[in-house]
């Protein structure tokens, strides 16, 4: 049986005066790829921050590799878990390769660091940005550099956890596909679990094995990511209150959103 890497046990958090997240009971096994989908404002980024130990839950536990997150040291967690947030801002005008090297900061001695930074930048399609100041880069270029940072962080470990929050925003469709393939290949070859907040349903269906559908009620529906499965189509329609049409393409079935929204109720 594949070992459980991440477990949410009765996890709860506040989302405002009258809204709550959870309670959630979910697990993510080593090597799995899960896309977290849901309408804007339902708490997807909050859930990711709870899993990343950036927020403290109001109830329940997040257990990583069998231990409560509170029992992990910062350095220990950094060697097994990497986070790519929505915001790519860096306080200082660092060169791109120095930003990527921050992913190695948990290591006291890192003789392979320069080589790993260069290889991580190449895999994130950011090798041509060496020597450029991060604060002069476009939003898409900054996203590539930050992706290289998390690659560098988990480059030489196995069965880690990669958390990414809308990693492909501000990128053109071709680069979105290229980088999504890079992310999933990186996770697969090292046995890392991957949890990604996405808004693009097709990317989620095409590159991930499971879907966590977070609704306005603060609960998560856990489904296999199979665009040909009628349960998935019905669940997405209920989640987004919009119709989805199943379309057969040379790459397999796809779900295309309709141009009209469903009426309330």
Residue 170 lies in a domain: no
Asked whether residue 33 is domain-assigned, the answer is yes
Measured distance CA(170)–CA(112) in Å, rounded: 32
**189 occurs within a structural domain:** no
Model confidence over 60-109: pLDDT tens digits?
999 999 999 989 999 999 999 999 988 766 757 899 999 999 999 999 89
Largest Cα–Cα separation, the chain:
61
Q: Is the pLDDT of residue 2 over 60?
A: yes
Q: What is the mean pLDDT of residues 17-34?
A: 94
- CATH number of residue 76's parent domain: 3.40.50.300
Q: 186 and 103 in contact (C-beta within 8 Å)?
A: no
In a domain, 212, yes or no: yes
CB atoms within 10 A of CB 220: 25
| Within a domain: 119 | no
Domain span holding position 205: 1-80+194-265
Cβ–Cβ < 8 Å for 106, 79? yes
The distance from CA 122 to its chain's CA centroid, rounded to whole angstroms, is: 20
For the entire predicted model, the pTM comes to: 0.93
Tell whether 173 is covered by a domain: no
Task: Sort residue 125 into left (φ over 0), alpha (ψ -120 to 50) or beta.
Answer: left
How far apart are the C-alpha atoms of 220 and 144, rounded to whole Å? 30
Cα separation, 117 vs 234, in Å, equals 43
User: For residue 161, what pLDDT band results from cuts at 50, 70 and 90?
Assistant: very high
Q: Is the dihedral of CA 110, 195, 160, 48 positive or negative?
A: positive
Taken in order 72, 73, 78, 80, is the CA torsion positive or negative?
negative
Question: Is there a domain that residue 24 lies in?
Answer: yes
Other Cβ atoms closer than 10 A to 199: 14
Specify the higher pLDDT residue, 45 or 88: 45
Question: According to the model, what pLDDT value does residue 229 have?
Answer: 87
Q: How far apart are the first and last CA of the chain?
A: 43
Q: Is residue 178 part of a domain?
A: no
Strand pairing partners for 249?
A: 252
pLDDT of residue 91: 58
What does the pLDDT look like over 137-157, one tens digit per residue? 988 888 899 999 999 999 999
Q: What residues contact 14, with CB distance under 8 A and at least 6 apart? A: 20, 21, 58
R_g (Cα) of the chain, nearest Å? 19
- The mean pLDDT value of the chain amounts to 92
Q: How confident is the model over 152-177, as a mean pLDDT?
A: 90
What is the domain count for the chain?
A: 1
pLDDT tens-digit readout, 218-241: 999 999 998 788 999 999 999 999
């Amino acid at each position: 049986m594949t070992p459980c890497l991440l477990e949410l046990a009765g996890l709860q958090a506040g989302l405002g005066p009258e809204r709550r997240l959870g309670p959630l009971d979910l697990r993510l096994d080593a090597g799995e790829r899960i896309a977290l989908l849901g309408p804007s404002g339902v708490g997807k980024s909050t859930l990711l921050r709870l899993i990343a130990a950036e927020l403290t839950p109001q109830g329940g536990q997040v257990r990583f590799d069998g231990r409560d997150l509170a029992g992990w040291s910062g350095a220990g967690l950094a060697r097994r878990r990497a986070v790519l947030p929505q915001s790519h801002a860096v306080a200082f005008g660092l060169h791109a390769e120095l930003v990527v090297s921050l992913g190695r900061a948990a290591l006291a001695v890192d003789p392979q660091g320069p080589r790993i930074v260069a290889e991580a930048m190449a895999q994130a399609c950011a090798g041509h940005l060496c020597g450029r100041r991060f604060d002069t880069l476009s939003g898409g270029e900054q996203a590539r550099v930050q992706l290289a940072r998390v690659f560098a962080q988990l480059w030489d470990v196995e069965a880690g956890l990669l958390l990414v929050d809308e990693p492909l925003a501000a990128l053109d469709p071709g680069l979105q596909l290229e980088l999504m393939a890079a992310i999933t290949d990186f996770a697969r070859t090292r046995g890392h679990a991957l949890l990604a907040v996405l808004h693009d349903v097709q990317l989620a269906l095409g590159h991930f094995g499971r879907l966590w559908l977070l609704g306005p009620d603060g609960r998560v529906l856990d489904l296999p990511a199979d665009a040909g499965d009628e349960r998935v189509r019905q669940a997405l329609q209920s989640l987004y209150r919009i119709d989805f049409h199943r379309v057969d393409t040379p790459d397999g079935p796809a779900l295309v959103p309709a141009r009209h929204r469903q009426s309330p109720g």
